Amino acid sequence: MFAIKRALKLNNREATLMAKHAGFRRVVFSMGLSLRTQMYGRVKLSDSKAIDELKKVLTNHVKKQPGFAWMNQLSSRVYQNALIDLKDAFNRYGSGKSAHPTFASRRDGQSFTVDSSSPKVVQNAGNTIKIPTVGTFQGHEPLESGFVSQTFTISKEGSRWFVSLCVDAERLNCCGI
């Protein structure tokens, strides 16, 4: 398994869409952290089960509030991966590998992860990259060959957006990949 990272060539509308998804991930992560912190001492659940319950609360109550209607316009895979990231952060904290999770900040970078919930996505050689539930975008440089991927992490570095594709294959050194 290896990753391929490519710069995306986005117009203003597409860059705004990416920023909205990154903000969505940040809001969900921070909201989940806040609710989980409030639950300490009141609810006797493991962090993993508590976050599963938080997912139900956020899905069935928060997203239906008029002030949070914007969440329904964005990819639910970003929402689900933000809660998975929160669960992983609490698992690392519980095992002593890291400090208590902190609120997500824009200063920490803008990024989000999208995965294809069922079949893997075929990326053909060329300049276009299909990101499930988000859209198809142009890359600055082409993919040299076709790949099959299921996980996509989109991040912003400076003023440019990048996508990292997780490829479930062995890296071949003969092809310059």
Partners of residue 28 on adjacent β-strands: none
Do residues 83 and 149 both lie within one domain? no
In a domain, 176, yes or no: no
Provide the pLDDT for residue 52. 86
The residue range of the domain holding 145 is 2-11+110-169
Q: Are residues 96 and 152 in the same domain?
A: no
114 and 148 assigned to the same domain: yes
Q: Which of 57, 87, 107 is the last residue of a domain?
A: 107
State the pTM of this model.
0.86
58 with 98, same domain: the answer is yes
43 and 114 housed in the same domain: no
Beta carbons within 8 Å of 47's beta carbon, 6+ residues apart: 36, 87, 90, 91, 93, 94
Query: So what's the pLDDT on residue 89?
Result: 92
The whole-number pLDDT of residue 67 equals: 92
pLDDT of residue 174: 45
Whether residue 82 is found in the same domain as residue 35: yes
52: its two tokens: 């599963």
Q: Which regions in the chain score pLDDT beneath 50?
A: 174
Asked if residue 137 and residue 65 are part of one domain, the reply reads no
> Domains in the chain: how many in total?
2
> Whose CA is closest to 26, among 102, 103, 124?
103
